[in-house]
Chains A and B, each alone.
Chain A
Amino acid sequence: MALTGIQIYKLLPKTNCKDCGLPTCLAFAMKLAAKQMELSACPHVNSDAKSQLADAAEPPVRLVTLKADGHEVKSGNETVLFRHEKTFFNKPGLFIRVQDDEAADGIRAKVSAADTYTVRYVGMDLTLDGFAVQSASSDPARFADAVSAVRAISKRPLILIARDPAIMATGLRAIDGESPLIYCADAGNWQAMADLAKQHRTALAVCSDKLDELADLTGKLKTKGVADLVLDPATRRLGTSLIRQTQIRRLALKKDFRPLGYPIIAFPCDASDPTQESVLAAQAIAKYAGFIVLNHFAPEMIYPLLVLRENIFTDPQKPIQVQPGLYEINDPKPGDPVLVTTNFSITYFSVANEVEGAGLPAWLLIVDAEGMSVLTAWAAGKFDAERIAKAVKETGVARKVARKRIVLPGHVAVLSGELEEELPDWEIRVGPREAVDLPVFMKQAL
């Protein structure tokens, strides 16, 4: 169980020696509690305390990493059931599946389109993570060919899917020296699969529709020396997947149940209704999957999923921000004023709501102030004349208005002089300090 700062403090030497780099032992204890420092930073802690603290530090969901040619997919190490409790750490890998009974041309076309797919979202280039190659033909040679074909096009991590260890072996040989994730071990084949996994140092997925059996299998595999396991609870529908994946995460986190303390793999690719594939994948992103296998590669489906993954895995401890940029309130015309404020979401909402509610048209210029409110941002040097001027230029608001009038929040009236220097052809006005007073100000003073 996680210990509080005070509990950890009681195990420390309490000398405030500063050898860990912090001013007091309590400060260090609180860093340990927040998992922001390692116990090893304290040279004076005794062995008894060490063992007590180590137990509290073991991750409840094992980290499994797939690597290939510089690409990497990490899954596991999660510590919470709900993202607001701390954050979700490792984004699930999104894999596109090809089956070995598909035409070779089709495979090549799909893989190369998916491999090169990249889409820009809030300044980031988002891509898919890899490919899953599935044996559908039951022909080992075809499987090996398909694996080779995919590898010839993409350097990204792979998942090999075959229940027959013999077929799996040919697939692995086709990419000898690599360590893909292999799928899957079940009650019948687990020993052979374990051998393959050990031989090729791969991660191994384990499948069963019963949690008891799943836990049994992971136990046996662990004993046999396969450490990197991935769970498939064999649910393929929305409702059952949600429940099973929740149960597994809960057992790992709340009961510290190690046999199910592994990442989960989900297969939206098996959706019976193709319009539900994205829905299943979306649920898998939010509800605990570590690897997600899709069937279709279509940008209109992949883009929303990549965005959702970014959204869900955003650290909620960071201040709530809105996108910097120019917002149009009540359909503004070129003669309407430009109001400026920061990108702290509450600030944005208060201003936008007041103006929108009063039915007054305006251009709302949201400056990137790292998600801080007006006063905080100003205090921290993140909302100054330079940043405002930069936002004016980047959004091109000057081209949208006939009259260049910009209204500063009253709290930063002090910036007006500098802003005049930065924006010489603009009329700088100082608005009220509180958003609630904006409508009256706009009606009377503008």
Chain B
Amino acid sequence: MPVEIPKDTWSGSVCTVTLGATTAAGGTRSHTVTVGGHKTLPFMHFEQPMAHRPVIALEIRDRRPDDWSPLLLEVWGNAVDDPASWANAGEKAGADLLVLSLSLTGADGHPTTPEAAVAAVKAVLKASGLPLLVFAPGQADLDNQLLVPVAEATKGERLVLGICEDKNYRTIVATAMANGHLISTRTPMDVNLAKQLNILVRDMGIPADRILMDPTTGALGYGIEYGYSVMERLRLAALQGDGNTQSPMIVTPGAEAWKAKEAKVGQDVPAAWGDWRERAITWETLTAVALIESGADIVVLRHPESLRRVRVASDDLMAVPETI
């Protein structure tokens, strides 16, 4: 019985966004990373080839993150005390991109200064040739104080500046446009809010090929289903031609999974949870792979072994013979 396989045809496609700029293009990156461009749902190779594979970013910090799980501090060792070494280690672990998250305060307890932020960003750029995303601590005034000098000091690098939110996007968008960078928007797990913020930033005139959107996810067990479905809906809308959902999607399964008690702690937990390290890595890996399959273009991870496993999975998802 001959079976005719139904193929979806779509009128819309996901924007193609290139992160980082090489020397030739006015930056200092060793190479660039391009995401997006999809004309169909993730990994449906029999309909359209995947324009760009999903990429894995590794999150590093400007200083030792005191609240991170001991498993993470242990695996990165002394690198966590120096963003440049951490960046190096991350590149060696196989990351495609680096995310530098700036801390709210310095080790002295005072708010992070613009000078310190610029220094950390420059150190990371010097240590690794990977394209870089810089995320501010998430407090409107401080974010703007830190990101503007960072953007100015790295003009032309095509960094991704984050995070633009509904209540605080104007300054970040303006400085990204003025200094040749990209932005990342973030909205709390809602299709409409994601679209709305996309419209707001585009109303300021930033071109679509400079926008990444983070629709936010919960970790496995902590609301992953909402993030998962929001991303599926956004991707479907993008393919159906809704111009305000066509930005490539970035999510942070690493940060979410490692916030979960299941990953973070190894003591005073039920025996039925099993081995701590393996459970934690599985937590991060499954969160990330589920999101990649629902449409994530960039997943931000924290543990090198999860990174390796997600890489194996994404290679497998990409390596599909055309006969299938």
Contact = CB atoms under 8 A, between A and B. Distances in A.
Interface of A: 82-84, 117-121, 211-212, 215-216, 219, 235, 237-240, 242-244, 246-247, 250-251, 254-255, 257, 259-260, 273, 275-276, 278-279, 282-283, 286-287, 298-305, 307-308, 311-312, 314, 316, 320, 322-323, 331, 345-346, 349, 353, 356-359, 436
Contacts of B313: 238, 276, 279
A353 B274 contact: no
B221 A239 contact: no
Contacts of A215: 1, 3
B290 A308 contact: yes
Given A282-B289, A300-B279, A273 B312 contact: yes
Nearest to B140: A357
B292 to A, nearest CB: 10
A25 to B, nearest CB: 34
A219 B1 contact: yes
A345 B282 contact: no
B307 to A, nearest CB: 12
Nearest to A239: B320
Contacts of A302: 274
Contact of A357 (B138, B233, B271, B286): B138
Contact of A303 (B104, B232, B274, B293): B274
B3 A257 contact: yes
Given A243-B44, A275-B312, A311-B220, A300 B274 contact: yes
Contact of A316 (B225, B282, B293, B324): B225
Contacts of B319: 237, 239
Contacts of B272: 117-120, 299, 303
B283 interface: yes
Nearest to B41: A246
B316 interface: yes
B311 to A, nearest CB: 11
The 6 closest A-B pairs by CB, nearest first: A300-B274, A299-B274, A300-B279, A119-B272, A239-B320, A238-B316
A216 B1 CA distance: 5
Chain B contact residues (Cβ within 8 angstroms of A): what range? 35 or more
B283 A359 contact: no
Contacts of B286: 278-279, 282, 304-305, 308
B221 to A, nearest CB: 4
Contacts of B138: 356-357
Contact of B273 (A216, A303, A356): A303
Contact of B324 (A238, A240, A308): A240
Interface string B186-209: 001110000000000000000000
B279 A239 contact: no
Given A212-B3, A215-B3, A300 B290 contact: no
A314 B225 contact: yes
A203 B319 CA distance: 33
Contacts of B10: none
Contacts of B226: 316, 320, 345
A397 to B, nearest CB: 18
B285 interface: yes
A242 B43 contact: yes
A167 B264 CA distance: 48
B106 to A, nearest CB: 14
Contact of A255 (B1, B6, B45, B140): B6
B280 to A, nearest CB: 9
Nearest to B188: A349
B324 A243 contact: yes
A276 B45 contact: no
B32 interface: no
A212 B46 CA distance: 16
A118 B226 CA distance: 26
A301 B97 CA distance: 28
B6 A250 contact: yes
B273 A119 contact: yes
Interface in B215-233: 220-226, 228-229, 232-233
Contacts of B24: none
Contact of B43 (A82, A243, A346): A243
B318 interface: yes
Contact of B228 (A237, A259, A283, A312): A312
Contact of B283 (A243, A255, A273, A304): A304
Interface in B223-280: 223-226, 228-229, 232-233, 236, 262, 270-276, 278-279
Given A83-B225, A212-B1, A239-B316, 18 more contacts: A84-B232, A118-B272, A237-B316, A239-B319, A275-B309, A278-B285, A278-B286, A279-B312, A283-B289, A286-B228, A298-B278, A302-B274, A304-B262, A304-B283, A305-B286, A311-B221, A346-B188, A357-B167
Contact of B270 (A119, A211, A260, A286): A119
Contact of B46 (A243, A301, A358): A243
